[in-house]
Structure 1
Amino acid sequence: MKNYASELLIDKVVIVGGGSLGQLHCAVVREILPSAEICLASSSGRTSPLADVHVHNFEEMLEAQFYPQIGIICSSTDRHMDDAIALAKMGVHLLIEKPLCLDATRFEELVKIRDEKKLTMCVGYNLRYVPSIRALKEMIQHRELGRLLHVKVDVGQYLPDWSPGVSYKESIAASAHRGGGVLMELSHEIDYLQWIFGPMIVKHSSLYHKSDMDIDVEDLAIFELVFFDPRRGTPIPISVTMDFCRRSCHRTCTVFGDKGTAEWDGVNQVLHHYIAESRTSQMKVIQMDGVRNESYKRQFAAFLKSIRMGQTVGCSIEDGLSTVKLINTIRSASGFEPPNGLIDYFDS
């Protein structure tokens, strides 16, 4: 992994949000930019031993004469757009944690500031930097599975098991107004599907609240997407199941082709490949040490590369908007009311 940090003059980084992701980003920045000053902006007053400056908001940050070149936004989803625009107006390059936003009505304002100030903005979908799923993408690009037939995605874990020792009721995932629910929290799947297969449409969807958990969001989503074979133009269905209910931790993507089948196991970092002609199976274990933390390091390195190159490497804010837009369409098709602000923006 090339060290692009050495080619950039970055000495101040602000991390917005002091939760688990904010703490993780503090560690990543400290490792990759060891001499940079880190400001942790947490409205709840959370702190990190790795941060040099602690504030509650941007006003306090400026009063402390802390002027960052980079901002990492990992506040609650409903705050993403306001935080992004506030920092962008200061001329700060932005890495915005997924999903991009809850209310997209100010998206064009953010784009205008980005273009006027020539800023770099990326969205944090770290699964794009996991070697095993990149291997799946390459397998499909090289047409090793032949003509694609259909795709099956299955992901889920019991919500109270996500953060042991912390009540699930306090999590963003459990709160509709903060941007929770399986569609938003597990939007990695929607991002990587579009990253691998391209644009897609919603065929049908069903959203449910099946558990006894005290949450006001969907905890089970079952829907079908369709993309089109770029060579033949034929529709290829993708069936997706997401949930907060199952007691096991599961994440798979299975791609069926007329020459074989590939199954990505995201929990164990294994790629299974069944070859139809020889009727044999191959198992590729493509692991990296500390897969979650390492993927965030690679993501941050790609962000720094984007700043140096002046063009996005990874997930752009336009990509992030496409994912939010598809989520909104899935909600609408199911009969669920989407978050405020999305219907008018996307229907205009």
Structure 2
Amino acid sequence: MDSPHILVLGAGSAGKRHARNLRALGCRISLFDPREDRLREAATEGPVSSSHSNLDAALGAHGYDGFVIASPPVFHVDQVLTISARHQRWILCEKPLSITAAEARRLEPVAGRVLLGYTYRWWPPLERFRARLQAGEIGTLHTLRFVMSAHLADWHPWERYQDFFMANREQGGGALLDESHFIDLMLWLAGWPTKVYAQVEKISALEINADDNVDILVSYASGLRVNLHLDLLGRPHERSITAMGDGGTLAYVYEENAIKLGR
């Protein structure tokens, strides 16, 4: 049996990371990106069956076994629909699925074949973190706190941050949409809330038109309270989850890839 052939849409940092992972799993890779320079750069990292700067040409070049969409979010909905019209295969789409809920609803007819790239749920330390909470290691859970803080200029040091899609609200950039990993983790750890209050703002001198600071307060019927803080400003970078209960505090610190228990 031939190894699976996957078309990766987008040859930026996320697309190249997906391509590396898929090669490590034994897949064959083809690439689409409208920028020829990115296609050339991605091809230096490993074997590429074919490269295309035109999506129609890419979709017609092979009978693919699956697709990965790693383009800027503004393109996600149209690319999912374009692929689905020609290939009845699974699609892994990077988050966010769409910039707006209205656009996302266009995908309802094909949603059964679309996977969303909220990959933190499958990170073994976070699986263990969740299992320890569910086992009651710190007793009744009262608060959860999520922090993601990382200066935008450090994300892609090889390019001007002003040229990165994260700087552009119209392309789906900004702290809220890109770091929605932590909203997904909140739902995974605590379920669906009853009340949500959020401030989504641009408060810094960064040369961007997208939000760079997000604070979300969430309430649950059980009495649980959750705080999420996301920003594009912090140095040093910080990503953490802290859970506080009657019997102690359990924290996951991303930079150390460690779970810590405080009594």
- Verify same fold: TM over 0.5: yes
Give 1:1-348 correspondences, 5 Å limit.
Answer: 11-34=4-27, 36=28, 38-45=29-36, 46-47=38-39, 48-49=42-43, 50=46, 51-63=48-60, 65-89=61-85, 90-115=87-112, 120-228=113-221, 234-275=222-263
Q: CA deviation at 1:67?
A: 2.3
- The CA deviation string for residues 152-196 of structure 1, in whole angstroms up to 9 with x for no partner, is 222111110111121111112111001111111111110111111
* Percentage identity across paired residues of the two chains: 22
What is the RMSD of the two structures over their aligned residues, measured on CA atoms? 1.8
Q: Displacement, 1:114?
A: 4.8
Inter-partner Cα distance in structure 2 for 1:81 and 1:21: 17
Q: Partner of 1:211: helix, strand, or coil?
A: coil
Is contact 1:88–1:114 with CA below 8 Å preserved after alignment?
Answer: no
* Residue-by-residue CA offset, 1:288-343 (whole Å, 9 max, x unaligned): xxxxxxxxxxxxxxxxxxxxxxxxxxxxxxxxxxxxxxxxxxxxxxxxxxxxxxxx
Structure 1 SS opposite 2:216: strand
Q: Which moved more, 1:260-269 or 1:202-211?
A: 202-211
Gaps of 5+ in 2: none
Note if contact 2:165-2:173 (Cα within 8 Å) is conserved in structure 1: yes
Asked if 2 retains the 8 angstrom alpha-carbon contact of 1:133 and 1:266, the reply is no
Tell me how far apart the structure 2 counterparts of residues 105 and 68 of structure 1 sit (CA, whole Å).
29
Q: Aligned pair count?
A: 256
Taking structure 1 as reference, are residues 206 and 62 closer, same or farther at Cα in structure 2, changes over 3 Å only? closer
How far apart are the structure 2 equivalents of 1:130 and 1:138? 12
Structure 2 contact 240–254 (Cα < 8 Å) conserved: yes
Cα distance change, pair 102–244 in 1 and its aligned pair in 2 (3 A): same
Q: What is the rounded CA distance, in whole Å, between the counterparts of 1:82 and 1:128 in structure 2?
A: 26
Specify the code of the residue in structure 2 equivalent to 1:262. L
Alpha-carbon distance in structure 2 between the residues aligned to 1:102 and 1:240: 20
Distance 1:215 1:24, change over 3 A: same
2:18 partner letter: H
Amino acid at match of 1:142: A
In structure 2, C-alpha distance between the alignment counterparts of 1:263 and 1:113, rounded to whole Å: 38
C-alpha separation in 1, matches of 2:9 and 2:98: 14
Shift of 1:144: 1.1
What TM-score do the two structures reach when normalised by structure 2?
0.91
**Is 1:69–1:91's contact at 8 Å kept on the other side of the alignment?**
no
* Structure 1 stretches of 4+ moved >4 Å: none
Distance 1:160 1:274 in 2: 34
8 Å CA contact 2:77–2:106 kept in 1: the answer is: no
1:131 is matched by which residue type in structure 2?
Answer: P
Q: 1:110 to 1:96 in 2, by over 3 A?
A: same
Q: Which amino acid aligns with 2:149?
A: G
Question: Tell me, what secondary structure is at the counterpart of 1:235?
Answer: coil
Equivalent-residue separation in structure 2 for 1:167 and 1:202 (angstroms): 38
Larger RCO of the pair (alpha carbons < 8 Å, separation 6+): 1
Q: Is the 1:114–1:121 Cα contact (8 Å) retained in structure 2?
A: yes
Unaligned runs of 5+ in 1: 1-5, 229-233, 276-348
